[in-house]
Structure 1
Amino acid sequence: MFPLTVNRLSLALYVDKRGMAQLLKMMKAVRVHKFGGPEVLKTETIPIPSIKHNKVLIHVRAAGINPADTYIRSGGYGLLPELPAILGKDVAGEVEEVGETVKNFKKGQRVFAELQERNGGYAEYVACPEDNVFPLAHRLTFAQGAGLYIPYVTAYRGLVTKCKAKAGQLLLVHGASGAVGVAAVQLAKSLGLTVVGTAGSSEGLELVKKVGADHVFNHRTDGYLEGAVKTVGKFDIIFENLSNVNLGADLTVMNKNASIAIVGCRGTVEINPRLIMQAEATVHGVFLYNSTSEERQAAIDNLLEGIAKGWVNPVVAKEYKFEEAPQAHHDIIHTKGATGRLVLTP
């Protein structure tokens, strides 16, 4: 390969099986060739994906990092991609090219997108079906745009689709300072709920309060749940980001007929089912890709409406370069207190 730089695009000369020289447009991407620790994330140069029909080629300016990315990378996720794989489900950037049947987007337009299983966002360019691409408001940065789809659609599925949240209810967001937690707080306040948010650091508590929580508690402090119940009462809905740590305790602070949405888990937990029986509560597992087309569209409509109305405001904690992807994957799991979204930039 002999890379060249022409109009932002890298070009490479190679010889195909027929012995003929070909010129490929190349890009930088972070790929996984085997499952394992953060060190398996490798920055490489690969061909830019081609597009046709209903596909949109996006010049990626920022790619969101989700905890699920680390589970996939390690091989500990229910749905694993074929290798080599590019991780990442959220991107924001500019339209580079559109297929011949694309009607709603044009070159240069600011967009954010949700990516398919085999088309990850840790790359300079991604190809995406038009139905998975959405306009990015100018008031939001590209880094914020990379924190829109997965966090806010997950929050909607947990709170609205599963728990049927409505105005006047009391909500506990366990782990409210992360990207999905922030989205849950903002969504809940837009719906008229009273929100209690937890975080594990003073910076996280300040953030949770800033994004709209009515009360905040440090989940690293002994007796914090008892303090929360003493302040506001037992909860109608619990939005749980780390169920393997918190679920057993969650069951002790439920109101009658409460609902729990489990959106995050890193292991097993021991619970007392009698507590669920006594409250006649419902525990929902939340897996975004089980959504029906109608449920997905309702969540997207809510997200786009929230962007237009101004209550959707992703918080970006830190930006990393592609070459720093291993450090980013370490940090998202081992941080002592989340303060928003982590993103990769080319």
Structure 2
Amino acid sequence: MGDETVRAWQAAEFGPPTEVLRLVEVPRPVPGPGEVVVRPQAVPLNLNDLERIAGGPVMVPVEHPIVPGMEVMGVVEACGEGAEGLAGRRVVATTKQACGGWAEAVVCPAASTFPVPDSIALPDAAAFYFPFHLAWLGLVDRAHLQAGETVLVHAAAGGSGSAAVQLATHLGARVLATVGSAEKAAVVRDLGADVVIDRTAEAFEEVVLAETGGEGVDVVFDNVGEAVFEASLKATAYDGRYLMMGFASNKAVADEPFVVPRRVILSNIKLAGVLFAYAPDDVRSLVKQAMGWNFASAERGAAIHREVVALVEQGAVRPLVGETVAFEDLPAAMERMAAGRTIGRTVALL
């Protein structure tokens, strides 16, 4: 491998990760204006990566061959025009078009690239970015969560769910959390959840109503989707805030009308979308005009990042890392994640 190429996991077709991914050499990327090239030291796995590999619906489709990887942690080794201030910095970043991170060098928009202090060591340095930003965007920016309120967090042993449990607890809320096994329940209790519900053993909505005097919770943090939606509406209080940010249970219905307006009306709740995406103002305007989507500003991302980094440094929250693997073992690790055999985040180290 010379300076002109880098190793990358690449798929030429859709399918199971261990069957379609190949470790190949690709040209070393070059940053454009407002972009940086990051040399990853670690790569956390995301469901978005699985959808790109296996063929699930994604917001921004790209043509094969693809290099998956929407999130990286590493060092900036090259900068495009306007991004020079990040040169040489230790950073976390989301990748261009949410692809390319499973490589030894990757292009990332400067607007979604943020510095990480040396005080946060690996693997935590690679694991906190997406989960805690998403939790903050939902619980703070959308729900305006207050101390003393109640929150229902789904998939609480996962990356973003575990972050939401900790952030809500830090903010003084009472946290009710759902998990898929007794093993995961023990982990989530240790994170500070007040009530942990094994959804495979009991109806979570009935437990929530019993724990809230029949009223329901003030906030629902739903990164699961169809499998929990109807029951979660029942578990939401009058004037409650329902945060939707994921469809882990069935992405195929993500764009289908499973959210029935009449049910929302009858529930007397506030339904809020939460999208983890930062962009400069010119890109935000283009995306709004073309797609109708609302991205958060780069400045908002930077402000959230400062808050999250401070909490991690203080030990008030910590990313939940289930396992670390070698870069060469990424496909097998992704299949374990797809099968639901992981807890928290899986991080590949380079």
TM-score (norm 1): 0.83
Matched, 1:331 2:336: yes
* C-alpha distance in structure 2 between counterparts of 1:312 and 1:138, whole Å: 17
For 2:288, the equivalent position in structure 1 comes to: none
8 Å Cα contact 1:59-1:94 kept in structure 2: yes
Q: Which aligned pairs between 1:238-277 and structure 2 lie closer than 5 A?
A: 238-265=220-247, 266=250, 267-268=252-253, 275-277=263-265
| Residue aligning to 1:304 | 309
Give the residue type in structure 1 aligned to 2:346. Answer: L
Deviations 1:183-207 (A, max 9, x none): 1112212322211112112231122
1:92 equivalent in structure 2: 73
Q: Percent identity?
A: 30
- C-alpha distance in 1 between matches for 2:295 and 2:112: 14
Match of 2:91 in 1: 111
In structure 2, the residue matched to 1:344 is 348
Output aligned runs, 1:177-326, within 5 Å. 177-233=157-213, 234-265=216-247, 266=250, 267-268=252-253, 275-289=263-277, 290-293=294-297, 295-326=300-331
Contact 1:90–1:147 at 8 Å: present in 2 too? no
Deviations 1:264-286 (A, max 9, x none): 21244967765533331122333
| Change in 2 beyond 3 A, CA 1:57/1:273 | closer
Q: 1:100 to 1:163 in 2, by over 3 A?
A: closer
In 1, the alpha carbon distance for the partners of 2:259 and 2:36 equals 47
Q: Is the 8 A contact 1:171 1:194 kept in 2?
A: yes
The amino acid across from 1:155 in the alignment is A
Structure with greater strand percent: 1
Q: TM-score, normalised by structure 2?
A: 0.82
Cα distance in 1 for residues equivalent to 2:246 and 2:32? 36
SS of 1:123 mapped into structure 2: coil
Aligned to 2:280: none
Are 1:168 and 2:148 an aligned pair? yes
Match of 1:14 in 2: none
Distance in structure 2 (CA, Å) of the matches to 1:312 and 1:179: 13
Structure 1 distance, partners of 2:81, 2:142, is 38
1:55–1:284 CA distance, 2 compared to 1 (3 A): closer
In the alignment, the residues of structure 2 paired with residue 172 and residue 98 of structure 1 have an alpha-carbon distance, to the nearest angstrom, of 42
Change in 2 beyond 3 A, CA 1:118/1:133 = closer
Classify 1:196/1:83 alpha carbon distance in 2 versus 1 (closer, same or farther; 3 Å).
same
SS at match of 2:42: strand
Q: Which runs of 5+ in 1 are unaligned?
A: 1-9, 12-23
- Pick closer, same or farther for the CA change 1:37–1:201 going to 2, 3 Å: same
1:82-117 CA distances to partner (integer Å, 9 max, x unpaired)? 33222212111234455686554454x532222221
